[in-house]
Chain A
Amino acid sequence: MTVNIKFSGPPLTVPSATRQRPPTPAIYAGLLVALCAVMLVSISVGYRIYGLDQVWQALTAFDGSETAVVIANLRLPRAVIAPLVGAGLGVAGVLVQTLSRNRIASPDTLGLNAGASLGVVIASFWFGVGSMTGLSLAAALGALATSVLVFAIASSAGGLSPIRIVLIGVTFAGLGHSLVEVVLTTNEAQLSQLLFWLSGAFVDRPLALAQTGGPIIAIGGALALLLARPLDALQADDATATGLGVPLFLVRGLSFLAVSLLTGAAVSMAGPVGFIGLVVPHAARWLVGLRHGRLIPAAALIGAIYATLADVIARFVVYPTEAPVGAITAVVGGVVLLVLLKRRAA
């Protein structure tokens, strides 16, 4: 798909922090190395710990042994899906924070995760949708519908104040969770399914999910990158952005489409893994500054690392049982939210 956003004007000077940063390529290289390392750890460390040679052998010469089965069928899918989900939610977080000019916005705090989750649950239990593409679409639709509702209610409720919009989003998230529970319990779903659709997990997900989810996240990410320059302008206020020749409605609409695709694909792969989209943009901004051209790839990488790391940690928190990864990220995210509120970031 081609998206042409006319954006002409002088190069933007986005205020950058005064702190000296290493050059951007070095940061990306470092993040990439870290991502590979974390993915390897994710494959080799768990209830049983395998050496790198065993991992290599299982992935290149699958021999059907127990070790090979565990590595190729249980560990590998998680090590692939977790970074995809993290990247998607991280980029979605950047977009949402820029669009609402709100540092505490994220797909979770605006209720998009819960909306996507509800979309999947309704599609699969009421309409019998089984294909991954269909479920991703349902999730994206759920996220889109929620974002429209939240923004409509917030703007009719006395302006888009950051705090107010988050309060409305969180209420929607609660509502979405309750509806998910109703749908699941009336369909006699098991508790494990319920926990999955309420807090997300990377356990027991087939690798095939990544074949549909991966491209959708790539499309969403590419769309976000295409919008990078108009988004830079949008960080100021609407008047400035219009003055710089940014078609506000088009940019907002496309951004929300990207957010919905990213969140929808992430949620349909792993359930509503919480607060990744809140935490990651802050880390990315700290590392590479405010320009979206750099911010978006950085958020994707950091999100990927963060989700994979959280997935590894989830294996050991209540060892030998595994904790839902969404619970781990929610604990971290809740604390980060408290810190942001304390600093009056919003």
Chain B
Amino acid sequence: MNDLPPVAGKYRYPLSLGAIALVFVLLALSAVAFGSSWIAFDQIIGVIFGAGEKTQKVIVLQLRLPRVVMAILAGGGMAVAGFLLQKVTRNSLASPGVLGVIDGAALGVVLFLALLSNESNALVTSIAYQPVAAAIGAFVAIALVFMLSGRQASSAIRLLLFGIAVAAVAKALTVIFMLIGPIYRASQAQRWLAGAVNEVNWGEIQITAIAMLPIMALVLLAARRLPPADLDEVSARAVGLNLPVFRILIFALAAALTALSVAFVGAVGFIGLMAPHLARLLVGRNVYAGIVGSFLLGAIFLVSADMIVRVTFSPLEVPAGTVTAIIGAPYFLFLLMGKQRNDG
């Protein structure tokens, strides 16, 4: 899984983490700066702190900043979820996408919108419950994958196929229920097919951020005990850790993070796979550094994917999820080709 010598990891991670953070900040700023009209960095910072002229304020605060902030939250959330899943399944190919969690969450949201809206396509309940619906869908999906795979879960590649089958069912159901609810007519359906950060608003960001904070805190608390889960069952018991319960907790956290990321952005794939890998490669074995690095890298991925579709295809709204898939799919194949053992 990781061939870096541990000593190098010890001294290296503060530096590389700093570099990643720097790239992250610059990228986030340029994502706000680029667009149909260029806005300089200092002006952006001015606008954020309340200065600037009116048009600039509208462009930055209403049009560009929400997309960037949402992309940071969603990309980061999915990356950390992927990090947790890869750690706890000891499977470097695991990610929220292939384990069916993303499509499960999307199905939860689409069901929520389809069933809880009235004739005039208005929601009869608060939009704040949307992430809850996503979380339920995500939990059900991951629980199904693990219940169905049973003992076969120990085979890295076999587990993925169960996830893919569950994801296929969830995706098909999503298409069916999209036709019932207001989503289809509101033409936001693409979000649920490929994932896009356009059309987000500050209300949705607020909900996501508020819910994500305590979960991230829990993740960091649980992180202290993550390395033993990297061990096999017997050694973990020797260290005094109740592995099954701890595993379920980690799965729940990963599902919740995925659900939050997907709830307003839709099914963006492959970030949860790529970001943790890259993080391990860059910052080494330290768990905290791995989590922070995954978050930042995931955010970088989604922000740049969104920037690419915004700049190249403007004024058309190509979903950012297509870019992550076009980059992520070959990466996944590359990993698969390198993985000779552990086959079902």
Please report A residues at the B interface, Cβ cutoff 8 Å: 104, 153, 156-158, 161, 163-164, 166-168, 170-172, 174-175, 177-179, 181-182, 185-186, 188, 191, 194-195, 198-199, 274-275, 317-318, 321-324, 326-328, 330-331, 333-335, 337-338, 341-342, 344, 346
Contact = CB atoms under 8 A, between A and B. Distances in A.
B193 interface: yes
Given A181-B193, A318-B180, A338-B165, A171 B329 contact: yes
Contacts of B316: 185-186, 188
A321 B179 contact: yes
A334 B318 contact: no
A186 B176 CA distance: 25
A191 B180 contact: no
8 cross-chain pairs, A with B, having the tightest CB-CB distances, nearest first: A330-B172, A334-B169, A157-B337, A178-B325, A175-B329, A334-B168, A337-B165, A327-B172
Which residue among A175, A275, A335 has the maximum number of chain B CB atoms within 10 Å of its CB? A175
28 contacts: A158-B343, A161-B343, A163-B158, A163-B343, A167-B160, A170-B164, A172-B329, A174-B269, A175-B329, A179-B326, A186-B313, A191-B189, A195-B189, A199-B175, A275-B168, A317-B176, A318-B177, A321-B180, A323-B175, A323-B179, A327-B176, A328-B176, A330-B169, A333-B168, A334-B165, A334-B169, A334-B172, A341-B161
B340 A158 contact: yes
Contacts of B161: 104, 163, 166-167, 337, 341, 346
B344 interface: yes
Contact of B329 (A157, A174, A321): A174
A178 to B, nearest CB: 4
A165 to B, nearest CB: 10
B172 A331 contact: yes
A73 B292 CA distance: 60
B318 A185 contact: yes
A341 B165 contact: yes
A168 B172 contact: no
A161 B340 CA distance: 11
A75 B189 CA distance: 28
A178 B326 contact: yes
Contact of B175 (A172, A175, A327, A333): A327
Given A156-B337, A318-B179, A327-B176, A181 B318 contact: yes
B157 interface: yes
A322 B330 CA distance: 35
Interface string B135-146: 000000000000
Given A164-B336, A175-B329, A321-B180, A344 B175 contact: no
Given A153-B337, A156-B337, 17 more contacts: A158-B339, A164-B157, A167-B161, A168-B336, A171-B329, A175-B326, A175-B329, A178-B321, A179-B322, A181-B193, A185-B313, A194-B193, A327-B173, A330-B172, A333-B168, A337-B165, A341-B149
B319 A181 contact: yes
Contacts of A158: 337, 339-340, 343
Nearest to B180: A318
Contacts of A167: 157, 160-161, 164, 336
B333 interface: yes
A321 B328 CA distance: 35
A50 to B, nearest CB: 24
A185 B319 contact: yes
A249 to B, nearest CB: 24
Contacts of A161: 343-344
A335 B169 contact: yes
Interface string B58-69: 000000000000
A321 B184 CA distance: 11
Interface in B195-231: none
Contacts of B149: 341
Interface in B149-197: 149, 152, 157-158, 160-162, 164-166, 168-169, 171-173, 175-177, 179-180, 184, 187, 189-190, 193-194
B317 interface: yes
Which secondary structure characterizes the binding site on chain A?
helix
Given A198-B193, A199-B175, A333-B168, A185 B317 contact: yes
A175 B323 CA distance: 10
Given A330-B169, A331-B173, A334-B165, A182 B322 contact: yes
Nearest to A185: B318
A194 B337 contact: no
B26 interface: no
B336 A178 contact: no
Which residue among A166, A274, A328, A330 has the maximum number of chain B CB atoms within 10 Å of its CB? A330
A146 B172 CA distance: 23
Contacts of B173: 327, 331
Nearest to B184: A191
B288 interface: no
Given A175-B329, A318-B176, A163 B344 contact: yes
Nearest to A153: B333
Contacts of A341: 148-149, 152, 158, 161-162, 165
A164 B341 CA distance: 11
Nearest to B321: A178
A337 B193 contact: no
A118 to B, nearest CB: 12
A344 B160 CA distance: 14
B246 interface: no
Contacts of B339: 157-158
A197 B161 CA distance: 24
Contacts of B165: 334-335, 337-338, 341
A185 B190 contact: yes
A181 B329 CA distance: 15
A186 B318 contact: yes
Which residue among B190, B329, B337 has the maximum number of chain A CB atoms within 10 Å of its CB? B329
Contacts of B329: 171-172, 174-175, 178
Contact of A328 (B168, B172, B184, B325): B172
B201 to A, nearest CB: 21
Nearest to B114: A318
A115 B166 CA distance: 22
Nearest to A199: B175
Contacts of B160: 167
